[in-house]
Each structure stands twice: as structure tokens, then as C-alpha cells.
Amino acid sequence: MMKRILSLISLMLLCGAMAAQTLPYQDRTLPVDQRVEDLLGRLTLEQKVSLMMNTSAPIPSLGIREYDWWSESLHGCARAGTATMFPQAIGMAASWDDALLEKVFTVASDEHRIKYKIARREGRVRRYHGLTVWTPNINIFRDPRWGRGQETYGEDPYLTTRMGYAVVTGLQGPEAPDGYDKLHACLKHYAVHSGPEGNRHSFDVEELSYRDLMETYLYAFERIVKSTDVQEVMCAYQRFESEPCCGSDKLLVQLLREKWGYRGLVTSDCGAIDDFWRPGRHETYLNEPEIAVAKAVRTGTDLECGSSYRHLVDAVKQGKLSEAEIDVSLRRLLRARFRLGEMDPDEVVSWNSIPEERLACDESRALSLEMARETMVLLQNRKGILPLRKTGVKYAVIGPNADNEQTLWGNYNGTPVETVTALEGIVAKVGEQNVTDDAAAADIIIFVGGISPRMEGEEMRFSPEGFDHGDRTTIELPRGQRDTLQQLAALGKPIVLVNMSGSAMGLLPETKVCRAILQAWYAGEAGGTAIADVLFGDYNPGGKLPVTFYRSDADLPDFENYDMAGRTYRYFEGDPLWEFGYGLSYTKFRFGRARVRDGYLEVKVRNCGRRDGDEVVQVYVGKDEDVEGPRKSLRGFQRVHIPAHKSVVVRIPLGDEAFETYNPSQGDMTAGTGHYTVYYGNSSSDRNLRKVRVTI
């Protein structure tokens, strides 16, 4: 009996010792890849598959907790409760200030870490509370009717690259001494994606020149992948050359991994794998779910947002995919979780020490106001009506967006501590006694109109006139607002239009009835304050358009034609209402004669006015012998602050990459020999540009 008791005690001690033993994948001193391989060898096929879906189930026996890969940070920590809300992405693009944008996303990443720490403490990392954020959207805003264009950084590949780089850098942060990553950013939607939303689950971009592909649609993806350690790429819904993007060998294997050297993971857009096989989508491209998921994994889609990957178990059992091919994706997924410290105790990860008091703190909210001010683009100011006087004038502040908080929020947004509407910002500036909603009793009418995130977006049910399931069919101002402005004009009082939208609007009739027009985008929690600061002269506007504002719908090509001919400032042959890069100021700037040497363009810029102000120095390049491509493309810019009556010398890098165009004989972007014209000034219009000739 005693011997049996001793044997039982020995067994219990042995089991306890084994339980206390640190397994290799739990050993933080080992290299990440070694930890990954050890854990990979302990997983069953079913467990592996469960880890390949965005809502990843826990595996308690191995100490793996539940994790949801889907988080959003389009313009701040989103959909996870209280957070600092910055202006919508397209508005921040109008700042042309990538340094400030990096600060914005440093704040956003701080707040994501705080949300994650709180979620872990509560025992569950649910959707929108994780460390893998599906931002930035670096698609090209090729057509102003695209509902999700508001999420992008505009129509230009170079501007998109610079802004996207800043977002990734701000989100992922610097390398920490303990080796853990702060967050993982995600480039989306790869590739050739900008609508049309109505048939995006079946649409095929069949005919597209390789020039447009490389110079426009893939330009930002390639450069950000090569210049940063971005950890995620999201493949798009539609097909490219007859293959769904999430199953495209050309996009995911040949270009992304083999040519560009990308080593991170690829996630599908939500429901994109369903489109491979469900009836009515992609013409039932692959009509069996097991074949469909095998295709997606084999071409490198590691993580699915959706539920089709549950069929991977059967796909392996049926011989349509090997478990070794599953392991390729698992390595990338597990590596990401180890690098983020998600598999380790919270207290050992330095990023988790960010104080919770930093969440939506005063400093971060002040940064939101700073960015909102920089996004404001002054489009028209006839007879210098702006800035307005704060005293001695009665203002009527009217229009559908005058006191509308949600319009300021954009889409994919967080919940701000407080939102200041345009009406509230103006009242705070001039006092309630000087504001009415009675236009007839006012001296000046401020009409705050435009559209809203409810009117432009993705597959939205709300479809008023001029909209089709989230995509506009027209760029014109809604008819009701246009009629109202005409009626107000009959009163004979000056009208100032504040236009809120996430895209370019056709405002030609409004230029005739309004003395001033301010493009305010969806300006975030401090938008109303920023609008009032500009209208009343406490801030001198310096924003520039990241998109072309066309005169009317007649300027726009067929929505479903992805050729760049006739689109954006690079290929549009008409006369825009306001060109890409355009924006007025309350002061005047003069550009000196530039010189190009030692890989830089150097130019002196003088503020000739009586107000301090910001100017955006823009540099464009065109190849003289190139008769088929764009006449000029943005290749450098810098936003500079110049005090009144002062000058600054601006030096903008202009290396070999600035002169690259698509070379069909090499199938790549190269800076070929020839004659180039370097344009510099403060917009893309020839009337605002000077020239320097360069020979390579």
C-alpha cells in the first residue's frame, strides 16, 4: 500500500514538474522563428485552420487565447469606444503634411495599445480591440463617384505613397528594446480597386495596360512594401485579369512576394473568399468551396475575414491541398502574434506600459484640431470676403451640415469625447447674439452643406437621388441644396459656402452665387472649431486639393473603365473647376527661380503678404519624349510655414526615382535617358508652375 502511495506521489510530482516546464514556444529568449516552429508542430489540422480566420478561437491546452485580427484605424482608433477622432483620410491628404500625419497615427497606435491592454485585462480580445489594424487604404481615388474614395489619400500615386508611408510608420512605431512590435499596419485593397461597389463581388478588371498598372495602381503598394516593414496586405474583392485578387498568382506571388520581396501576411477583404464559389459571384469562378479555399491559400492568402476557410479541413482530407501548404500560412500568422507579444504575458511587453490616461487626452485632441486646420482648402474668395469680422455683423448659419456631428465623423470612426459642429464653432467665435438661422435678418449667410458619410460609402442601403448603393452617380451638389442657395442668393446677401464631403463635388453653379467656398471634408471631432478659425481669420488656410474638382458629370469617363485616360490631373484634358494641388491663402507667395543639382530641387519662396502662412511647394516631372503617358506627375512636395515678408529656401529630393516611368521592354519602372521637364509651384496647373529642363 505504501509503495502504491509513493508511486502516486512520484507521478504527481512528475506531472507538476512537466506542467511547470517552459516549452520552447513559451520561451521568450528563443528566436521568434524557433518558437513558431515548435508551436506549429503541436497543432492539429483543425487547430491550424481555426487560427486562419479573423476571429481566431482560443486553444486553452496550448495557452493560446482568443484573438480577432480585425481592427480599424482609418482616422484614429475606430469602433472600439472612446478615442481621439481625427479628420477623414481624404481630408488629412489635403494637409500635404506627412510629418503631421505620422504624429496622428502615433497617437492612434498608442490608443490601440491601450484598448488592447484593457481587453486583455477583461479576458477577451474581441473585434476592433486587437493589434492588427487594417489601415491604410492606399487605393487610387480615380473617380470622384467612388463611395470609399474618402478613405484614400487622393488621386495621385506619389502623394498616396508619402502619406501611406507616414501612416505605416506612425502605426507600427519604432523598434522597441524588447523586440516587440507596437502594432501591425495593413495596406489595402490590393489591387486595382476603386469600385464599382454595385458589382464588386463579380467585376473583372480585364483590360488594363501595364503602364497604368505599374505607374498608377501598384505604385504606392510597391514603394511602401519595399521601404517599410509593413506587416499586412489585404487583397481586394474584384477580379484582375480573370482571377480574384485573393487568388491571383500574378498579384500575390509573382509581384508581391517574388518581385518585391514581401514577407508579411496577406488577409482577405471580408467575404472575398466567399466570392470565389458562391452563386452569383465571380461567375462561380470555382464552384466548390474546398477548391476555392485551396486556391486562396496556395496563392498566399493567409488569413480570411469570413467563414469559408472552415472548408480547409476537408480540402486537405480530399487531397486538394496539403497540410504543408497550410503550414506556410500558419508560420506567417504565428510569427505576427509572437512579434506583437500577443502570445506572452502583458507585463513583459514594453508597449503595454503606455498609460491609460493617454486615451483621448487633451494633447491628442489638440493634435486633432491642428490637423483639422491643415485640412481646410479655400477654393474661392471673391472680393476678399474672408476672413470675416467677429463683431458688428449678423450671421445666418444654416444648411444640413451646420449642426451635424455625424457628418464630421466620416466612416470607420471612433467615439470622440466631444464634437464641435460648424455652428458651435462659429457661435464660440462671434457669440450667440451675432448668429441667427433667419437668413433675411442676417448680413452674411454661412451655408454649411455638401453630403455626408451616410451618402457615400460601401454597399449602403441609403440611396437618395444621385446615389447607388453607396456610390454616387453624380458629383453635383444635391438638388435641394442647390435650389436653396439660389433662393438665398435672391436675398442679395453675401453667401459663404462650407462644403463637407469625402470627395470632389461639382460646384460650378455655386461659384456664381457664393462669394467664398471652403472645402471642409469630414473634419473630425474639432472640425467646427477649425472651420470657424479659418472663416474668421484665426488660422490662415494652407490645405491643397488631393483630387481634381471637375466642372460637371460630363467631365467623367465610364465608371467601370479602369484605364487612366481622361482621369485625374495626370490624364484629364479638359479644364477643371479647381485643379489637383489647388488651394488659396490669405497671403501671397512668390517662387524664385529653381535649380536642380546633387539630387535636389532648390527654390526660394517668399511670403509677400501681411499674414504668416503655409505654402505647399509642389514638384512635377514629365518626360518630353513621352507622348503616351501623363504630361507631368507629382514627384515631390513640402509644406512650409513662412512668416509675413519672409523667405525660405526649400530643398526637395529629386533622385533617380523621380524620373522613372514604365519601361515596356524591361517590364519595370526605370529612369530612361532623355529630356525631362521639372515643374515647380503651388498647384498642378500650368499657370501656377515654373519649369526647369533636365537631361539624363
* Of 288 and 257, the one with more pLDDT: 257
Q: What was the pLDDT predicted at 252?
A: 98
Q: What was the pLDDT predicted at 471?
A: 82
Going by the DSSP 8-state scheme, the letter that residue 376 receives in this structure is -
Q: What was the pLDDT predicted at 7?
A: 43
Tell me the mean pLDDT in the region 398-425: 98
In whole angstroms, what is the distance from residue 564 CA to residue 569 CA? 10
Give the three-class secondary structure for 73.
coil
CATH 2.60.40.10 residue ranges for the chain: 589-695
In whole angstroms, what is the distance from residue 635 CA to residue 281 CA? 39
Q: What was the pLDDT predicted at 277?
A: 87
Tell me the mean pLDDT in the region 452-457: 89
Q: What was the pLDDT predicted at 21?
A: 81
In whole angstroms, what is the distance from residue 592 CA to residue 348 CA? 55
Q: What was the pLDDT predicted at 594?
A: 98
Tell me the mean pLDDT in the region 86-115: 98
In whole angstroms, what is the distance from residue 587 CA to residue 644 CA? 8
Per CATH, the number for 589-695 is 2.60.40.10
CA angle 427, 429, 433 (to 5 degrees): 50
Q: What was the pLDDT predicted at 459?
A: 73
pTM of the full predicted structure? Answer: 0.96
The string of pLDDT tens digits covering residues 470-489 is: 688 899 999 999 999 999 99
Find the distance separating the first CA and the last CA of the chain, reported in whole Å: 94
Q: Looking at this protein, which amino acid is placed at residue 95? A: S
CATH 3.40.50.1700 residue ranges for the chain: 365-571
Tell me the mean pLDDT in the region 4-14: 41
Confidence band of 463 (pLDDT split at 50, 70, 90): low
Residues 6+ apart with CB under 8 A from 279: none
Q: What was the pLDDT predicted at 278?
A: 82
Annotation marks residue 476 as catalytic: no
Average pLDDT over the chain reads 94
* Residue 10 predicted with pLDDT over 80: no
* Residue 16 predicted with pLDDT over 50: no
- By percentage, how much of the chain surpasses pLDDT 90? 89
Confidence band of 508 (pLDDT split at 50, 70, 90): very high
Output the CA–CA distances (angstroms, integers) from residue 499 to 97, 375, 378, 446, 609, in the order listed. Answer: 22, 13, 10, 11, 27
Tell me the mean pLDDT in the region 366-394: 98
Nearest to 227 by CA among 260, 256, 194: 260
The string of pLDDT tens digits covering residues 31-64 is: 999 999 999 999 999 999 999 999 999 999 999 9
Annotation marks residue 456 as catalytic: yes
Q: What was the pLDDT predicted at 462?
A: 56
Tell me the mean pLDDT in the region 387-415: 98
Q: What was the pLDDT predicted at 465?
A: 63
Nearest to 93 by CA among 161, 144, 143: 161
DSSP letter string, 447-490? EEEE--TTTSSSS-S---TTEETTEES--BPPHHHHHHHHHHHT
- Tell how far CA 349 is from the center of its chain: 28
* Residue 229 predicted with pLDDT over 50: yes
- Supply the angle between the helices 422-430 and 527-535 in degrees, to the nearest 10: 50
Set 143, 181, 222, 269: catalytic member: 269
Tell me the mean pLDDT in the region 601-623: 98
Q: What was the pLDDT predicted at 332?
A: 98
Per CATH, the number for 365-571 is 3.40.50.1700
Contact by Cβ (8 Å): 44, 106: no
The string of pLDDT tens digits covering residues 264-301 is: 999 999 999 999 988 877 665 677 999 999 999 999 99
Output the CA–CA distances (angstroms, integers) from residue 164 to 99, 184, 407, in the order listed. Answer: 11, 14, 24
- Per DSSP, what are the bridge partners of residue 650? 603
**Which grid cell sits at 574?**
479638359
Set 274, 456, 510, 525: catalytic member: 456
The string of pLDDT tens digits covering residues 360-376 is: 999 999 999 999 999 99
Nearest to 87 by CA among 75, 101, 102: 75
Output the CA–CA distances (angstroms, integers) from residue 495 to 224, 270, 484, 489, 552, in the order listed. Answer: 44, 44, 12, 7, 22
Tell me the mean pLDDT in the region 373-396: 98
* Residue 13 predicted with pLDDT over 70: no
**Which grid cell sits at 46?**
483543425
